[in-house]
Chain A
Amino acid sequence: MIRLVTFLGGFYFFLEFLLPTEFFGFSFAPYHEYITNGIITVGVAAIGLGLISILRVHGTRILKVSPGWFPSTLLLLSMFAMIFATGNEAILDRNDAKLYERAALLREFATLVAKDGGTAELSAEARTTIALEAVETFIQELPTSAEPEADQSAFQELVVAKTELQRRIDSGSRETLPGVNEGLAQVATALRAYKTTVREASSNRKVYNLLYQGLWTALAAAMFSLLGFYIAAAAYRAFRVRSVESALMMGAAVIVMLGQIPFGVWLYEGLPALRSWFLSVPSSAAFRAIRLGAGVAALLMAIRMWLCLDRKGGKA
């Protein structure tokens, strides 16, 4: 059963690679996105496993007050804080986008009605009334008072655009729909500008920035920067010339290092060119040989995985 499912997992890509895009008049192209998205979904579904593991390991440590309970508490707190802040940002983004999309949809509808008039079911007048009413409802859903921390001038611009749009609706007819369309465009621009200032001043954005820039970015960069110290220590303690091989390695390393820094040319002007030659000729050739070998090995591994050719472990 597992072998069959594993085989099926890779079969689609194998066929897709071998067969032409159209096969006996049938094209798989329209379904390709569905299939691959489906396969990605299977993988993405595992994301909860990480969450469960974290909760189990650190939750248990906290509940039992075992050693390391305090860092575990910080871990869980920071995780939930990030979920809350980023999730809230995503929701607010989506809500704002819904408003912009509504404006764009109403503009498109107004253009359509102005151009085509009625349909089989509805007359041109009825569609015009629907369009104007929809715009009216949209206006009512727009912010009526400015958020205290937002840019007040941006809000004033929105109010002006809104008033102008209202005026255009009040004197609305099918002929004035292009004007309504224009008014909607102005409202959409003003709304976007105002909403941007609201979001930038929001407390959620501040918390998100503190977590993201103040902690996450800084911690990630600092964690990697530790390696700078260790590579210096390793250069002193481990990079010893004991054989022809190590001498060659050190020679190449020194040439590459001197060739990529601004002071290298002070020693010898041709060092950058020499570095470039090292990288593009001997180093490239040697690495390509390694890459080709690794590539063939990866191909064989892929075939073994796909066809389940690995034997079960056990006694010889």
Chain B
Amino acid sequence: MSTALAITILAGISTLAMLSFLVRENSIYRAFEHIFIGLSAGLGLVVTVRDFLYPKILMPMFGWDIVVFPDGTIKDPGHPLAWMYAIPLAFGLLYYTMYFPRYSWMARLVIGFSFGAGGGLAIKGFFNEILPQVTASFKPLVVFDEGTIAWMSSFNNTVFVFTLLCTMAYFFFTFRRGEALRGIAGSGGRWLMMVCFGAFFGSTVMARMAILVERLQFLLIDWTDALLKVVGYV
């Protein structure tokens, strides 16, 4: 049996094992589920080392990226400051103090640092991503096209701004309840959000079914074909 055929056969068995969960949870499903977790963990570890730790940190840190011509002249001096990567590496290793109760407080330093860095970065990210969103929300309610009113665009913009304001009003909890305007805007906001969630549901159906259809296509066509080849019908 060729490797390609073996791969297809194995992929079909794996797919069926997963789908067997639909009948009821069973030991075959559980076995393959554990295999999947194991493979993911193994792949994650190697890829992180291969694609980040080794080329970006270890190579420059140990000077493995310095390139020298055969006559001893230096072609690429590498990163002169890369030895300093030893500091974050050593700091990151403090995570492992959590296994030693006496020193476990040190792990909190690293966790705190990572949270802080994430927070600092998120501040910048917020402005870069959200400000264009705010700007794009100021739409003209009456749109002119070559001197005449573009009715469709005007209608769309009006609906857009109305929906945006109503939905935002729904989340304003600092207003006093019972105010007429807020009541109307809030209800309108809720209804319009439902329209949005409906669109999400419609899109979700497509996303989930697409994955299922792809698997069924594999089982019914590729896998069946491979099975027939193994049995000798094709």
Query: Which residues of A are at the interface with B, using a C-beta cutoff of 8 A?
Result: 1-3, 5-14, 16-17, 31, 34, 37-52, 54, 68, 70-72, 74-83, 86-87, 90, 105-106, 108-109, 112, 119, 122, 126-127, 130-131, 133-134, 206, 209-231, 235, 239, 244-246, 248-257, 260, 277-293, 295-296, 298-299, 301-306, 308
A299 to chain B, nearest CB (A): 4
Given A226-B22, A302-B119, A260-B195 contact (CB < 8 Å): no
Contacts of B85 in A (CB 8 A): 34, 37-38, 41
Contacts of B63 in A (CB 8 A): none
Judge if B108 is at the interface, Cβ distance under 8 Å: yes
Contacts of A127 in B (CB 8 A): 71
**Which residue in B44, B46, B116, B130 is a CB contact (below 8 Å) of A305?**
B116
- Say whether B35 contacts A78, CB under 8 Å: yes
- Say whether A281 contacts B159, CB under 8 Å: yes
State which residues 205-219 of B face A: CB under 8 Å: 205-206, 208-209, 211-216, 218
- Say whether A292 contacts B35, CB under 8 Å: no
| Bound complex: CA A150 to CA B139 (Å) | 64
Contacts of A109 in B (CB 8 A): 69-71
- Say whether B18 contacts A226, CB under 8 Å: yes
| Bound complex: CA A54 to CA B42 (Å) | 11
| Bound complex: CA A38 to CA B113 (Å) | 12
- Say whether B41 contacts A79, CB under 8 Å: yes
Interface digits, B36-67 against A, CB 8 Å rule (1 contact, 0 not)? 11111111111111101100110000000001
- Say whether B116 contacts A6, CB under 8 Å: yes
Contacts of B159 in A (CB 8 A): 281-282, 285
| Bound complex: CA A90 to CA B54 (Å) | 11
Ordered by A's residue number, 28 sampled pairs between the chains whose C-beta atoms are within 8 Å are A6-B112, A45-B110, A74-B34, A83-B45, A126-B71, A133-B70, A211-B39, A215-B10, A218-B10, A218-B15, A219-B36, A225-B212, A228-B211, A228-B213, A231-B209, A250-B198, A252-B196, A252-B199, A285-B163, A286-B164, A290-B167, A291-B130, A299-B122, A299-B126, A301-B119, A302-B123, A305-B118, A306-B120
Judge if B93 is at the interface, Cβ distance under 8 Å: yes
- Say whether B82 contacts A252, CB under 8 Å: no
Contacts of B19 in A (CB 8 A): 222, 225-226
Judge if B115 is at the interface, Cβ distance under 8 Å: yes
Contacts of A285 in B (CB 8 A): 159-164, 167, 192
Contacts of A134 in B (CB 8 A): 70
- Count how many chain B residues have C-beta atoms less than 8 Å from C-beta atoms of the other chain: 123
Contacts of A256 in B (CB 8 A): 198-199, 201-203
B148 to chain A, nearest CB (A): 21
**Which residue in A44, A70, A71, A257 is a CB contact (below 8 Å) of B53?**
A44
| Bound complex: CA A150 to CA B99 (Å) | 49
Query: Which residues of B are at the interface with A, using a C-beta cutoff of 8 A?
Result: 3, 6-12, 14-15, 17-19, 21-22, 27, 30-50, 52-53, 56-57, 67, 69-71, 73, 75, 79, 81-82, 84-85, 87-89, 91-93, 95-96, 98-99, 108-110, 112-124, 126-127, 129-130, 133-134, 137, 156, 159-165, 167-168, 171, 189-206, 208-209, 211-216, 218
| Bound complex: CA A72 to CA B27 (Å) | 12
Interface SS of chain A:
helix
Contacts of B70 in A (CB 8 A): 106, 109, 130-131, 133-134
> Which 8 A-B pairs rank lowest in CB-CB distance, beginning with the nearest?
A45-B92, A10-B120, A9-B116, A252-B198, A228-B212, A256-B202, A82-B42, A214-B10
**Which residue in B69, B137, B162, B193 is a CB contact (below 8 Å) of A112?**
B69
| Bound complex: CA A109 to CA B70 (Å) | 8
A136 to chain B, nearest CB (A): 11
| Bound complex: CA A250 to CA B195 (Å) | 8
- Say whether A10 contacts B121, CB under 8 Å: yes
- Say whether A78 contacts B123, CB under 8 Å: no
Contacts of A252 in B (CB 8 A): 194-199, 201-202
Which residue of chain A is the closest to B109 with respect to CB atoms? A5
Contacts of B115 in A (CB 8 A): 6, 9, 305-306
Which residue of chain A is the closest to B136 with respect to CB atoms? A288
**Which residue in A9, A51, A52 is a CB contact (below 8 Å) of B113?**
A9
| Bound complex: CA A287 to CA B214 (Å) | 30
| Bound complex: CA A284 to CA B133 (Å) | 11
- Say whether B167 contacts A289, CB under 8 Å: yes
Given A108-B75, A231-B208, A252-B202, A86-B81 contact (CB < 8 Å): no
Given A49-B96, A112-B69, A78-B194 contact (CB < 8 Å): no
Which residue of chain B is the closest to A9 with respect to CB atoms? B116
Given A47-B48, A51-B41, A226-B21, A105-B117 contact (CB < 8 Å): no
Which residue of chain B is the closest to A51 with respect to CB atoms? B45
A180 to chain B, nearest CB (A): 13
Contacts of B194 in A (CB 8 A): 245-246, 248-249, 252
Given A80-B42, A288-B133, A305-B115, A210-B3 contact (CB < 8 Å): yes
Best-buried of B56, B112, B190, B218 by chain A (most CB within 10 Å): B112
